[in-house]
Amino acid sequence: MPSPNKNVDQAFALAKERYAAIGVDVDKALEKLSAIPISLHCWQGDDVGGFENAGEGLGAGLAVTGNYPGKARTADELRKDLDEALSLIPGTHRLNLHASYAETGGKKVDRDALEPAHFKNWIDWAKAKKMGMDFNPTYFSHPKAADGWTLAHPDKGIRQFWIDHGIACRKIGAAIGEALGTTCVTNVWIPDGMKDQTVDRKGPRERLMQSLDAMFEKPIDPRLNLDAVEGKLFGIGSETYVVGMHEFYLGYAITRKKVYTIDSGHFHPTEVVADKLSQALAYVDRVLMHVSRGVRWDSDHVVLLTDDIELIAQELVRGGYLDRVHIGLDFFDASINRVAAWVVGTRSMIKALLLALLEPIDELRKLEAEGDYTSRMALLEESKTLPFGAVWDHYLQSKNIPIGRGWLDQVKKYEAEVLSKRG
């Protein structure tokens, strides 16, 4: 546990005065921030590998680059790495788990036969850490997904296999929610699509709708599990046609009362993803926000404190959506220390939320309502140079987390003592 730094306390006291001068209650902002959970994605720790070894490579347009040493090879190693990352991230967060991370005791269990018991170790781990969990069916890296088609597959038998997988995962999500006492969001993303010119765009979408309806036919208590559906603009191997694009899933979420998933890497690079939140939330009750960083395409780079991330956080706070939006991360980078990637990405999202919470939002709304756009612009610009860093350091210190580069020193020590010995 790091020793308290008096300089941090003094800087924080001065920062509070500066923020108070523009009507911002820093203590209240930090209280709100500490109550916002971010769902950390398990697949950053092992390059989306999972533990079933069912297929050769990821498939489904997924690609992880790099071969940094120390990748988690077992569920125990992955949980150990998550423990290390979470010890350097302020707040109480969640775990986002894929079905391919089941622990079956060495037995072959296909995905349509997965049960809550296969995730008992994960549930016990989360319970001990007083964390919630979210879940995902895995519609890739499997022989029955080798051609890039699953719920929209022309073969009825293969479609039924993936429907049954989805049904099994919803039951697992409900079991997670019941065991942990907090709702599990189970998110459905499929890779189905075409690489080149597509003649029949209607048929696959009709099949996908029928498959989803069959999967979601049996109601589940929303206090235990919420169903989410996620679209995408394109993928590797589905550049021309994606069956489940955003318009399809937004319509599905509205008509079937499902959670609509917005992944910040799944749109055209020039689109402002933050602007989609208020549009979707005008029609759906909840949104799952997958935060990623695309570079030229959906490349799932580690989340940084960029303009795009700040805009998402601003929209969540300014729109009053924090109680209606579930925030999760979705990136995978094997070219750098994987634990550090978790820490950097999650802390960047938390920083963006803190910056948004430190805006003088009441004054800004008043100025906008009065038509004083000059003062609105000026106040927004002035708030950018306020001592946010002093507030961030105080927040870290209050959670007994190293400030500055101290967290990186701890990760490097972990790398030397643990990761480097994995071969």
Nearest to 291, CA basis, from 222, 348, 214: 348
Q: Which residue among 307, 338, 357 closes a domain? A: 357
Q: Which amino acid, one-letter code, is at 276?
A: K
Nearest to 338, CA basis, from 46, 106, 133: 46
Same domain, 42 and 147: yes
pLDDT at 304: 97
Helix (H) or strand (E) holding 136: strand 132-136
Q: Which residue among 357, 376, 403 closes a domain? A: 357
Boundaries of domain holding 163: 37-357
Same domain, 333 and 417: no
pLDDT at 298: 84
Q: Is residue 99 within 8 Å of 114, Cβ to Cβ? A: yes
* CB proximity list for 319: less than 8 A, separation 6 or greater: 277, 278, 281
Same domain, 207 and 236: yes
- Sequence-ordered strand ranges (E) for 175-268: 184-188, 193-194, 225-230, 241-242, 259-263
Same domain, 211 and 315: yes
Provide the number of structural domains found in the chain: 2
Same domain, 94 and 233: yes
pLDDT at 85: 98
Pull the structure tokens for residue 220.
Answer: 């589940």
Same domain, 292 and 418: no
Same domain, 260 and 302: yes
Same domain, 415 and 297: no
pLDDT at 340: 98
Q: Which residue among 357, 388, 403 closes a domain? A: 357
Tell me, what CATH number does 272's domain have? Answer: 3.20.20.150
- Give CA–CA dist 342/78, Å, rounded: 12
Count of Cβ atoms closer than 10 Å to residue 103 Cβ: 17
> Would you give per-residue pLDDT tens digits along the chain (423 residues)?
566 788 999 999 999 999 999 999 999 999 999 999 999 999 999 999 999 864 456 666 677 888 999 999 999 999 999 999 999 999 999 999 999 999 999 999 999 999 999 999 999 999 999 999 999 999 999 999 999 999 999 999 999 999 999 999 999 999 999 999 999 999 999 999 999 999 999 999 999 999 999 999 999 999 999 999 999 998 888 999 999 999 999 999 999 999 999 999 999 988 999 999 999 999 999 999 999 998 988 888 999 999 999 999 999 999 999 999 999 999 999 999 999 999 999 999 999 999 999 999 999 999 999 999 999 999 999 999 999 999 999 999 999 999 999 999 999 999 999 999 997
Same domain, 341 and 420: no
State whether residue 391 is helix, strand or coil.
helix
| Residue burial 367-380, b: 16+ Cβ < 10 Å; e: rest | beeeeeeeebeebe
Could you give the residue numbers annotated as active site? Answer: 189, 230, 232, 263, 266, 290, 298, 300, 330
For residue 122, the Cα-to-chain-centroid distance in whole angstroms is 18
Same domain, 270 and 293: yes
Give φ, ψ of 155 to 5 degrees.
-85, 120
Is 225 domain-assigned? yes
Same domain, 299 and 401: no
